[in-house]
Amino acid sequence: MKSLARLYVQQFKATMATMFQYRASLFIWMIGQVLEPLVYLVVWSVVSQNSGGSVGGYTTGEFAAYFVLLMLVNQATYTWIMYEFEYRVREGVLSAALLRPVHPIHSDIADNLSSKLLTLPVMLAVAGALGLAFHASFVLHAWAVALFLPVLLLAFLIRFILEWTLALAAFWTTRVSAINQTYFVLMLFLSGQLVPLSLLPHPLQIAAQVLPFRWMLGFPVELAMGRLDLQQALTGIAVQFTWLAGSVILVRIVWRAGIKVYSAVGA
């Protein structure tokens, strides 16, 4: 454990140094993280105003709160490994990582957390400004606030491990762009990223309950907004733990199978 802790510390330092070298790229990435929920916020705010101030149980202020919180939750859980892993396999970069005494997933976790820590202050400032500009309406419950951080951590772990597992498809296909796009379309509609899930048709709501996407994004947002009671929140946490356990088992199975067929295409 001490060796692993030292690894994370060193990886944090290296990632921070890299991030500061590529400040322009980081800034462009943050713009993308802000613009997408901002577009949805504007669209649904206009729809709400034109519908008498409410749509599907969401007022204009609640739409603002929803998409501001969604922006923060997405920033806290987002990963880029699905784009990166294909390159590692295709160019043989993964070969060097396999020679190290620790699993490659640890360096990816450290990289991801480092970037989040670096961008968090800016994202919080932007979220506060958007909340004020669009008159976001929050209903805070003490128990929901207490549960939010554990729920957010579970959401991050589920999303990271599932997307890391999906990235391993590169062992067999080399090019995974089509797989990535299919995944992100499902994520867009079934996570609450495009619209609050309660506004979706009933069959899609059922699919969102069964699949993992809601538990990565929509569930933490709904909890923070006070739209869940305690029983619903605890049930959701139980579902998150179930998905997390399944994800850990799945990533181990796929990793072991992938390593057996791995060949460095560009090496």
Q: pLDDT per residue over 165-183, tens digit each?
A: 999 998 898 788 888 889 9
In this structure, are residues 230 and 147 in contact, taking their beta carbons and an 8 Å threshold?
A: no
Task: Give the per-residue pLDDT at 196.
Answer: 92
pLDDT at site 144: 93
154 neighbors 148 (Cβ within 8 angstroms): no
Mean pLDDT of 93-97: 84
pLDDT in tens, 229-247: 999 999 999 999 999 999 9
Query: Is pLDDT at 24 greater than 70 in this prediction?
Result: no
Give the residue, 14 or 120, on which the prediction is more confident.
Answer: 120
Q: Is residue 79 part of a domain?
A: yes
**Which domain range does residue 67 map to?**
2-261
Eight-class DSSP state of 200: S
CA atoms lying within 13 Å on the CB side of residue 199: 19
Residue 39 lies in a domain: yes
Give the closest residue to 45 by CA, choosing from 131, 127, 172: 131
The C-alpha atoms of residue 9 and residue 7 are separated, in whole angstroms, by 5
Residue 266 has pLDDT above 60, yes or no: no
Within a domain: residue 266?
Answer: no
Q: Which of 24-28, 94-98, 174-178, 218-222 has the lowest mean pLDDT?
A: 24-28
Nearest Cα neighbor of 9 from 147, 109, 150, 131 is 109
Q: How far apart are CA 187 and CA 182, in angstroms?
A: 9
Structure confidence at residue 37 (pLDDT): 86
Helix (H) or strand (E) holding 55: strand 54-55
Whole-number pLDDT of residue 236: 96
| pTM exceeds 0.85 for this model | yes
Whether 3 has a pLDDT exceeding 80, the answer reads no
For residue 267, pLDDT beyond 60: no
Q: What are the pLDDT digits (tens) for 180-195?
A: 889 999 999 999 999 9
- DSSP for 231-244, please give it: HHHHHHHHHHHHHH
pLDDT, residue 23, reads: 63
Q: What is the domain count for the chain?
A: 1
Strand partners, 58: 55
Q: Can you give the pLDDT at residue 1?
A: 64
For residue 27, pLDDT beyond 90? no
Calculate what percentage of the chain has a pLDDT beyond 90: 48
Q: Is the pLDDT of residue 32 over 90?
A: no
Is 267 inside any structural domain?
Answer: no
Q: Provide the mean pLDDT of the chain.
A: 87
Tell me the C-alpha distance between 138 and 64, whole Å. Answer: 9
In a domain, 235, yes or no: yes
CA distance 12 to 91: 24
Query: Which pLDDT score, from 0 to 100, does residue 238 have?
Result: 97
